[in-house]
Structure 1
Amino acid sequence: MIPSTLSKDTIIALATASGHGAIAIIRLSGPEAISMVNGVFKGKNLEKQASHTLHFGTIRDGEKILDEVVVSLFKGPASYTKEDVVEVSCHGSPYITEQLIKLFLRQGARLAEAGEFTKRAFLNGQFDLAQAEAVADLIASDSALTHQVAMNQMRGGFSQEIKALRAQLIHFASMIELELDFSEEDVEFADRSALRNLITQLQRLVTDLLRSFEMGNVLKNGVPTVIAGKPNAGKSTLLNALLNEEKAIVSDIPGTTRDVIEDEAIIGGLRFRFIDTAGLRETLDTVEAIGVARTKQQLQKASLVLYLFDVTSTSPAELKAELEALQLPQVPYLLLGNKQDLATPEQLAQFQEFEHLIFLSAGTKAGLDELQQTLLEQVHANEAITGDRTIVTNLRHFQSLQKTSNALLEVLQGLDNGLTGDWLAADIRRALYELGLITGEITTDDLLDNIFTKFCIGK
């Protein structure tokens, strides 16, 4: 159950990034927020001003002017936390912000804990727990797609699906609970056939949400994409081309790359984690051998593999042998025939039998656009995001959905085995509990602390 006792103190934090800047914003929230600022503000009487208004003036410590500021008023419940909120926009000097915060602390404010503003917003009913967690995802979003998913969740898209599932289960749970009150009369209020149909339908919806977590992980953490191939195939040159910077050392000497080099790039709104690896070959060089072993480890963890080969010095038979020796796990891969600008038409034509093959020149960046488009198609990111499908990106939600799925499966098995209503009710209650944990309809102080302590202080 959501805690009903809300804090009566007023909290304060720097809401903008620390360090020097043109402007810094200090945020206060709580019953005394307006009076505290008004006590040191020289300008209009803030306590007599309307909500959602801006006021220019000075903040003074006694007779000493600390700064010229603009004060923004948001009177509860029409504010982020549903409490009185004041935001003081001052000059972005760390010295000034420190002096202002110390002044407000002397006025009786308390330093906010991590995520406490959003925690208060949740406790005051501004939004549910899943939406509150999406606020952190929105702040952390670094691409168009992660931004879109976070916005959808913050505006309640995911929560609406969970609440709809829960509402349907509550109806049948209440009917079965009613049966238990009349157990001696052997009556049946919950139609078992309708219950089976509902549970089957809910199970399909939960399964779809669970499957979306893989895509959610991709959006949140990036697609781990390993660039592999023989020494001197052009792997480091390709990495530099994809990143549009000289990240890796490029040399004509085979075996230049001896360790894993990793960096990220945004392609079509999706983040890819490109991993350049040591060339795959047998070697007596101890350091290079360690690099080759690390390459094989990265291949096992990859979501996508780009296998690069030199079209000017590799025959189809050699390429087949390389791929067989590679023993790729069940991971999507693309074959990249590099140095097409140096190849003859005959050399290119001999590789027509290979699927998922793209010819390019990492040095001149020819074919790079086709590769980037193919990368997006391989991940199916555009299809997943542009549709109406909800994407699960939060591990806590995923774990609760897994437990919900297990509970629903127990209900189906109970119906098959003719279990009595009390057993069915127990499994339905377990599913309801897990769904309630996602939206915060059921929660504990430990759960809230675990979630909101991961937020930044000023949010």
Structure 2
Amino acid sequence: MLGKLTGWDDTIVALATPHGIGAIGVIRISGTKAIDIINSLFPSKDLSKQSTHTIHVGFLKDDDKVLDEAVVSLFKNPKSYTGEDVVEISCHGSPYIQEQVINAIVAKGARLAKPGEFTQRAFLKGKLDLTQAEAVADLIASNTEASRNTALHNIRGGFSVVLKELRDQLIQFSALIELELDFSQEDVEFADRSRFYELIHSAKKTVVELINSFQLGNVIKNGVSVAIVGKPNAGKSTLLNTLLNENRAIVSDIAGTTRDTIEEIININGILFRLIDTAGIRESKDVIESIGVEKSLEKMKAADLVLYLFDVNEETQSTVEASLLQVQSSNKNFIAVGNKADLIGEDVAQQKFSGDGVLFISAKKNAHIDLLKQRMTDKVIQGTVSTESTIVTNARHYQALQEVNKSIDDITAGLYNHITGDLLALDIRRCLHFLGEITGEITNEDRLDYIFSKFCIGK
């Protein structure tokens, strides 16, 4: 429980900006001795007498040695990120200067912070819950508009609000059930069962929506791997270059030019697609090419999406259908793309390959590439990404929500079967337990250490 974890009273320090040479470097200090330590290094002003949220300029000195001229930002508890006294030093971006300042702070009684320890302290001080803390790490790691907006939504408490409303309602009903147990011999009913049916039905809908959002959340957070597969000379490398708008892969008329997989990343409508150009799939006596074909098949099986590319001039409908059956057996999420349609005309290509689903393009002429990008996006997100709705992006949350869902099913079954109040209360407590694990109301030190160890040092 949190009460066992809140006894931290030491002072920590870390570089909050990336290592290396830059214009400035920010050093963050948090803890009970933060102001006293910096006061001993900053003779310009007595920071203990200054107001919170103020900025001060002066020289940092270690005894008579001038370390740097710096800007010192002061945040007094509890109005700081960690809820403790926090001082941030903006010094010059020399790694040597930063090291000297940090060493002086450590010598005065601070210790080097562990990864994520500032945010962990913010969590332990009640400045934010665990979902918001994890969203901080997601925001730092965000590399698209969609991932940034999703992380910001959760930092603002979007996910927390949904869970809190659900948890508060369950706690209220659980308390009434527990009260009934105290008066069990008098056969009284404090909890309105009809109202509880409505609550559980609403909770089930909310939890299922959150669970179902994880597929989209995983796409937003981690991106989508896309294997471009097909026979030799279908134009896979040309398509890769066209999608990237640069000559990344070698292109030639010689079949089998691509011997190994080439991977590049492209941002389409806020989603990262990891494009994998594979060797052409065919039987070959060439040892190197055969290895490349094996790798292509492996990439196709592991990909989130497969673009099966074929040359409309060389293939027939029967050969394409046979190849698509092979693709479908390995990966059901695919798009059939007919390339080089400009050579025979799109109308002829559509007549030659009847049926819905095939997208005709010309990778070389950049024809219908925007349509292909849109179809790729539609395949993986199946709708518009709404940053105002809560989207689950964390595997830990997803697993806990599955347990919540099972508990809700048990509660529902218990209500319909008219089980006793003590058994119903057990199911409710189990549901509350897993909701509390998501927000951090129920946790332990080992789990917290694991979660925050994945943060960067200084945050």
Which of the five TM-score ranges fits, normalised by the shorter chain? over 0.9
State the 1:444 CA deviation.
1.2
Q: Retained in 1: the 8 A contact 2:312–2:341?
A: yes
Alignment correspondent of 1:45? 46
Alignment correspondent of 1:75? 76
Alignment correspondent of 2:2? 2
Q: Retained in 2: the 8 A contact 1:270–1:381?
A: no
Q: Retained in 1: the 8 A contact 2:231–2:281?
A: yes
Alignment correspondent of 1:389? 389
Partner secondary structure for residue 68 of structure 1: strand
Alignment correspondent of 2:412? 412
Alignment correspondent of 1:454? 454
Distance (Å, rounded) in 1 between the aligned partners of 2:44 and 2:251: 63
Partner secondary structure for residue 312 of structure 1: coil
Q: Retained in 2: the 8 A contact 1:312–1:347?
A: no
Partner secondary structure for residue 275 of structure 1: strand
TM-score by length of structure 1 reads 0.95
State the 1:352 CA deviation.
5.9
Question: Equivalences for 1:55-74 in 2 at 5 Å?
Answer: 55-74=56-75
Alignment correspondent of 2:337? 336
Distance (Å, rounded) in 2 between the aligned partners of 1:439 and 1:119: 13
State the 1:108 CA deviation.
0.9
What is the aligned-residue identity percentage?
Answer: 53
**Worse-matched range after superposition: 342-351 or 278-287:** 342-351
Alignment correspondent of 1:279? 280
Q: Retained in 1: the 8 A contact 2:266–2:274?
A: yes
**Worse-matched range after superposition: 88-97 or 233-242:** 233-242
Partner secondary structure for residue 127 of structure 2: coil
Partner secondary structure for residue 386 of structure 2: helix
State the 1:43 CA deviation.
2.0
Q: Which runs of 5+ in 1 are unaligned?
A: none
State the 1:190 CA deviation.
2.2
Alignment correspondent of 2:433? 433
Alignment correspondent of 2:167? 166
Distance (Å, rounded) in 2 between the aligned partners of 1:345 and 1:10: 69
State the 1:86 CA deviation.
0.7
Alignment correspondent of 2:241? 240
Residues 26 and 382 from structure 1, CA distance in 2 versus in 1: closer, same or farther, beyond 3 angstroms? farther
Per-residue displacement from partner, 1:296-338 (whole Å, max 9, x unpaired)? 3333333222111112222333322322343345633222222
**Worse-matched range after superposition: 302-311 or 14-23:** 302-311
**Worse-matched range after superposition: 279-288 or 413-422:** 279-288
Partner secondary structure for residue 105 of structure 1: helix
Per-residue displacement from partner, 1:6-28 (whole Å, max 9, x unpaired)? 32111100000001111100000
Q: Which runs of 5+ in 2 are unaligned?
A: none
Distance (Å, rounded) in 1 between the aligned partners of 2:229 and 2:408: 43
**Worse-matched range after superposition: 281-290 or 229-238:** 281-290
Distance (Å, rounded) in 2 between the aligned partners of 1:292 and 1:184: 75
Please say if 1:85 is aligned against 2:86.
Answer: yes
Alignment correspondent of 1:99? 100
Partner secondary structure for residue 314 of structure 2: coil
**Worse-matched range after superposition: 173-182 or 18-27:** 173-182
TM-score by length of structure 2 reads 0.95
Partner amino acid for 1:67?
A: D
Structure 1 vs Structure 2 CA RMSD: 1.9
Alignment correspondent of 1:137? 138
Equivalent pairs, count:
458
State the 1:382 CA deviation.
5.6
Alignment correspondent of 1:266? 267
Alignment correspondent of 1:177? 178
State the 1:426 CA deviation.
0.6
Alignment correspondent of 1:445? 445
Partner secondary structure for residue 384 of structure 2: helix
Distance (Å, rounded) in 2 between the aligned partners of 1:265 and 1:31: 46
Partner amino acid for 2:239?
A: L
**Worse-matched range after superposition: 398-407 or 370-379:** 370-379
Residues 191 and 447 from structure 1, CA distance in 2 versus in 1: closer, same or farther, beyond 3 angstroms? same
Partner amino acid for 1:15?
A: A
Distance (Å, rounded) in 1 between the aligned partners of 2:3 and 2:12: 19
Distance (Å, rounded) in 2 between the aligned partners of 1:207 and 1:61: 58
Partner amino acid for 2:188?
A: V
State the 1:184 CA deviation.
2.2
State the 1:346 CA deviation.
5.7
Partner amino acid for 1:26?
A: I
Distance (Å, rounded) in 1 between the aligned partners of 2:58 and 2:450: 40
Residues 258 and 3 from structure 1, CA distance in 2 versus in 1: closer, same or farther, beyond 3 angstroms? farther
Please say if 1:128 is aligned against 2:125.
Answer: no
Distance (Å, rounded) in 2 between the aligned partners of 1:247 and 1:111: 43
Q: Retained in 2: the 8 A contact 1:333–1:356?
A: no
Q: Retained in 1: the 8 A contact 2:346–2:360?
A: no
Partner amino acid for 1:404?
A: V
Distance (Å, rounded) in 1 between the aligned partners of 2:266 and 2:382: 15
Q: Retained in 2: the 8 A contact 1:22–1:92?
A: yes
Partner secondary structure for residue 350 of structure 1: helix
Alignment correspondent of 2:300? 299
Per-residue displacement from partner, 1:13-47 (whole Å, max 9, x unpaired)? 00000011111000001122122112111423322
Distance (Å, rounded) in 1 between the aligned partners of 2:288 and 2:159: 49
State the 1:381 CA deviation.
6.2
Partner secondary structure for residue 383 of structure 1: coil
State the 1:351 CA deviation.
4.3
State the 1:74 CA deviation.
1.1
Partner secondary structure for residue 39 of structure 1: helix
Residues 377 and 327 from structure 1, CA distance in 2 versus in 1: closer, same or farther, beyond 3 angstroms? closer
Alignment correspondent of 1:253? 254
**Worse-matched range after superposition: 211-220 or 283-292:** 283-292
**Worse-matched range after superposition: 291-300 or 172-181:** 291-300
Partner amino acid for 2:80?
A: S
Distance (Å, rounded) in 1 between the aligned partners of 2:331 and 2:412: 32
Partner secondary structure for residue 47 of structure 1: helix
